[in-house]
Structure 1
Amino acid sequence: MIILKEDKCLIEKYIKGESQAIEELVKRYINSLYHLSYSLTHEKNSAEELFQETWIKVIENIETYNHRNHFKPWLYTICINTYRDKYRKEKRWLGRVKDYFTNQEKEYVINNYTLSIPMEDIVEKKEQEKIIKNYIKILEDKYRLPIILFYFQEMTYQEIAELLKLPMGTVKSRLNTAKKKLRKMMEVNDDEGKRTRKGTW
């Protein structure tokens, strides 16, 4: 509730002509929105472009924001819709997140319990993280978006359902399917790795 009031106050100040208020709002969500942008595009330049375009649309439509609702879901809706409109067909998956956000990279890794991967099966953590991130990239959007929002943005099933305009049951189903797909890809990778190591001896 405190966050809602603070966001509402900043928005009201901006509408009244206090331009610096939007800068404060951007600062509040710079990490989370850039993280979402990069999670969607997986390419530095595209992420920065999506981040900027999202804020442009926020400013252009700020007066349509419903002050009774939380700002974050509204912001994410604009970001995701912008991505769908412009980036979905481009599939530019190369590049790395810029240094300022490297502390966010850890959030790309779904914990081992979630993926049902036994801890003893993980030999090299960084390599495992890289593999998981690469597999998340290639998931279909309908599975990748719930994964990103649930695990990386810590949104609830209800919030994701409202954001993506899906029944809650569909959100849960897609999350389960996404985890199964990731688990299967990890198992295939592990089998291939074992065969490769065996062949080197």
Structure 2
Amino acid sequence: MDELVNKRINEVLDGQQEAFEEIVMLYQNRVYYVCYRILGSREESEDIAQEAFVRAYTNLHKFDQKRKFSTWIFRIATNLCIDRLRKKKPDYSLDAEVPGTEGLDMYSQLESAEDLPEAELEKMETQERVQYEISRLSETYRPVIVLRYIEELSLKDIAEILDLPLGTVKTRLHRGREALRQQMMGNW
């Protein structure tokens, strides 16, 4: 796939702008899901994913084709997510009442899991719970946990994406796992 992507990159650099569409199609879902796992908001994730591709396009001439494009685009997206997290603090709690309703809390706004077998429902509840707990991790640990366990990237790729030494990634991964475990044990 890297050869195909590098070919499309060269086409874009030669003035064939439409070749970038194929690159976007190859990576858009994965970039969106990385953003979603970090931000926890569909709208923000769509915005950040789109912005990541815009930045990649405008800076394509800076991309080193000896490296993997996926690592580069994940780095752009992750950095944008971290910037967004730093600019905002959580502005609601899932326990908070939905404005204009009587007694409905934010939990009622989560997607419905109707008509699923009990085991599937339990699995979904666990996944939602894990996603919620990941969203509560600090901006220091959240990207490392998402890239490692959701995207299943190597520690080396994570270090490159986050522009961190490998030892720092290992430390953050260990501490992030421990923080997640503590959160899960305390609220389970």
TM-score between both structures, scaled by the size of structure 1: 0.74
- For the aligned residue pairs, the C-alpha RMSD in angstroms reads 2.4
Contact 2:148 2:158 in 1 (8 A): yes
Contact 1:41 1:93 in 2 (8 A): no
Contact 2:133 2:183 in 1 (8 A): yes
Matched, 1:17 2:15: yes
Extract unaligned runs of 5+ from structure 1. Answer: 99-122, 191-201
Q: How does 1:74-113 map to 2 (within 5 A)?
A: 74-91=72-89
Task: Give the superposition deviation at 1:40.
Answer: 2.1
Q: How does 1:1-201 map to 2 (within 5 A)?
A: 3-91=1-89, 124-190=122-188
Distance across 2 between alignment mates of 1:80 and 1:53: 11
Would you say how many aligned residue pairs link Structure 1 and Structure 2? 164
The C-alpha deviation readout for 1:33-82, integer Å capped at 9, x for no partner, is 01011122211211111011111111111111111111011111111222
Distance across 1 between alignment mates of 2:91 and 2:170: 26
Extract unaligned runs of 5+ from structure 2. Answer: 93-105, 112-120
The structure with the greater share of residues assigned to helix is: 1
Q: Which amino acid aligns with 2:12?
A: Y
Task: Give the superposition deviation at 1:163.
Answer: 1.8
Distance across 2 between alignment mates of 1:32 and 1:92: 24
TM-score between both structures, scaled by the size of structure 2: 0.78
Distance across 2 between alignment mates of 1:27 and 1:36: 15
Task: Give the superposition deviation at 1:145.
Answer: 0.9
